[in-house]
Amino acid sequence: MKLAIVEDDINMRKSLEIALGEYKEFEVISFKSAKDALKKLDDSIDLIITDINMPQMDGLEFLKILNGRYEALIITGNATLNKAIDSIRLGVKDFLTKPFEVETLVEAIKRAKKAKEVIAKSPKKSAISQKQSFVATSAALENILKLVNKAAKTDASMLLLGESGVGKELFANHIHQNSLRQNSPFVAINMAAIPENLLESELFGYEKGAFTDATEGRAGKFEIANGGTLFLDEIGEMPLALQVKLLRVLQEREVVRLGSSKPLKVDIRFIAATNADIQKKIKQGEFREDLFFRLQTIPVHIPPLREREEEIIPLCEWKLEQVDLQYGIGKKKWGKGAKEQLLAYNWPGNIRELLSVVERAAILCEEDTIMPEDLFLSSRESGGAKKIANLEEELLYEALKSCDSDIDKAASLLGMKKESFMQKMEQYNIKL
């Protein structure tokens, strides 16, 4: 199995190489940056192991460009946990929080391989359409739905606020289906998923010849949603220049395609959503306050899954049915302690994370019973005896030993600045 490690920290990168190199079944190559990896990755790679925080291009941007071409594992520190959670949207099934045991990483790699094999052997079935309604309920959800159902009957703009993965698009669709526009289009667009240079043409459309590749005219999302509802997901990531243009659409109710001067009237109900701290973005000059007030005529705060505990098991049961329909793996049941672990976990990635974990567990479990170890939730919490940090310490010792305790030579051997090397020595209390 060929693994590609993408990690800018040379100590972590070398430590991972050494740790995984001890396993005969793994062939390991490594890259010091995502940009370097993009130039050299080929079809021989089975799995990518990537950090989140890296200069020039971070792990999330890297995964977006790869667009599901490879199975990927994320390694992250607590400081980047939110980004790791966001990676679930990009198809990442497992992520490990530093520090972690080498054995945990190896287990995650083997899980990825097994899941790929099981899916490949499964009978090919048409994709299961996702249910566009709520499959479970709780007191917290019922309270929100009372507000949402009242607001749905109006044409007021709504802003859905909440953590990543709480189901904001499901809420937006529910609002549309319970509105007077239910028989007209519901169009969704994610601001964070589309490159900035393409976002304007996606929203406004363009005429033939508007730019080099515009061989024919195309309607944008505003036109397509005319008469219905437009859902602007991750609105906090919209570039400032486009925020001005969106504000004008909200005020004038008209759009102009790229390459045209003719305004087109539109009748749209706007629903926006974000997991960002919009007030903080406004203070930092990253989001227009006038646009914020236009979008949040009715703000809706969606509670996280940890405050909606009653929904967890029903959601799991529904997902198990969906996985069986999609892959034909048979009905699964919960083994001793599995439900308890599902209820005890904090679910920082909310419903999106829960459904991803259940799908993976159903595919990987032995026979028909899902056990706690199949959920693999411990990998998302830092800790363990033989940590990668221990390997980093060993790497420093080995470098010093091979260079007769010459710090300059040892630092050069590892490709580190002397100051950084000495900081690591102090961190691990290494004395000469």
**Quick one: average pLDDT of 188-207?**
92
CATH number of the domain that 357 lies in?
A: 1.10.8.60
Fill in the DSSP letter of residue 369: E
Which domain range does residue 405 map to? 382-431
Domain's final residue, options 254, 282, 303? 303
125 contacts 326 by C-beta, under 8 angstroms: yes
116 contacts 71 by C-beta, under 8 angstroms: yes
Higher-scoring residue by pLDDT: 382, 51: 51
- In-domain check, residue 94: yes
Is it the case that residue 172 has pLDDT exceeding 90? yes
Same structural domain, 149 and 276: yes
Apex 335 CA angle, 329 and 339, nearest 5: 105
Same structural domain, 188 and 297: yes
How far apart CA 93 and CA 102 sit, in angstroms, is 18
Cβ-based burial of 118 (10 A; exposed 0-12, middle 13-18, buried ≥19): middle
**Quick one: average pLDDT of 286-304?**
96
- In-domain check, residue 134: no
Higher-scoring residue by pLDDT: 399, 200: 200
Domain's final residue, options 339, 361, 376? 376
- In-domain check, residue 127: no
Higher-scoring residue by pLDDT: 129, 217: 217
Q: What is the dihedral of CA 36, 39, 44, 45, to 10 degrees?
A: 40
Is it the case that residue 432 has pLDDT exceeding 80? no
**Quick one: average pLDDT of 7-14?**
89
How far apart CA 237 and CA 200 sit, in angstroms, is 13
Q: Which segment of 4-18, 40-54, 378-392 scores lowest on mean pLDDT?
A: 378-392
Same structural domain, 229 and 293: yes
Give the pLDDT score at 421. Answer: 85
Same structural domain, 158 and 204: yes
- In-domain check, residue 133: no
- pLDDT tens column, 58-68: 998 999 899 88
| Beta strands 263-265 and 94-97, pairing class | unpaired
How far apart CA 209 and CA 189 sit, in angstroms, is 24
CA distances, 184 to each of 220, 225, 270, 307 (Å): 16, 8, 13, 34
- In-domain check, residue 126: no
- pLDDT tens column, 364-384: 998 899 999 999 887 776 544
Give the pLDDT score at 27. Answer: 95
User: What is the model's pTM?
Assistant: 0.77
| Half-sphere exposure for 380 (CA within 13 Å, toward CB) | 22
Is it the case that residue 227 has pLDDT exceeding 60? yes
Is it the case that residue 385 has pLDDT exceeding 50? no
Give the pLDDT score at 337. Answer: 93
Same structural domain, 324 and 264: no
Average pLDDT, the chain: 89
148 contacts 160 by C-beta, under 8 angstroms: no
**Which H or E run includes 158?**
strand 158-161
* Three-state secondary-structure class, residue 406: coil
Same structural domain, 363 and 386: no
CATH number of the domain that 238 lies in?
A: 3.40.50.300
Q: Is the preceding omega at residue 99 within 30 degrees of 0, hence cis?
A: yes
- In-domain check, residue 132: no
CA distances, 354 to each of 168, 314, 349 (Å): 15, 11, 7
- In-domain check, residue 293: yes
**Quick one: average pLDDT of 33-42?**
94
CATH number of the domain that 414 lies in?
A: 1.10.10
Same structural domain, 247 and 157: yes
Same structural domain, 283 and 395: no
425 falls in which pLDDT band (50, 70, 90)? confident
- pLDDT tens column, 309-336: 999 999 999 999 999 988 888 899 999 9
- In-domain check, residue 130: no
Same structural domain, 166 and 294: yes
Closest CA to 374 of 108, 165, 91: 108
Same structural domain, 299 and 316: no
How far apart CA 188 and CA 229 sit, in angstroms, is 8
Give the pLDDT score at 78. Answer: 63
Same structural domain, 299 and 311: no
- Count of domains observed in the chain: 4
Q: Which residue has the tokens 């949402």?
A: 148
Domain's final residue, options 66, 87, 121? 121
Give the pLDDT score at 126. Answer: 52
Higher-scoring residue by pLDDT: 82, 43: 43
How far apart CA 290 and CA 299 sit, in angstroms, is 15
Same structural domain, 298 and 388: no
Give the pLDDT score at 262. Answer: 95
Give the pLDDT score at 390. Answer: 65
Helices then strands, each counted (H, E), the chain = 19, 16
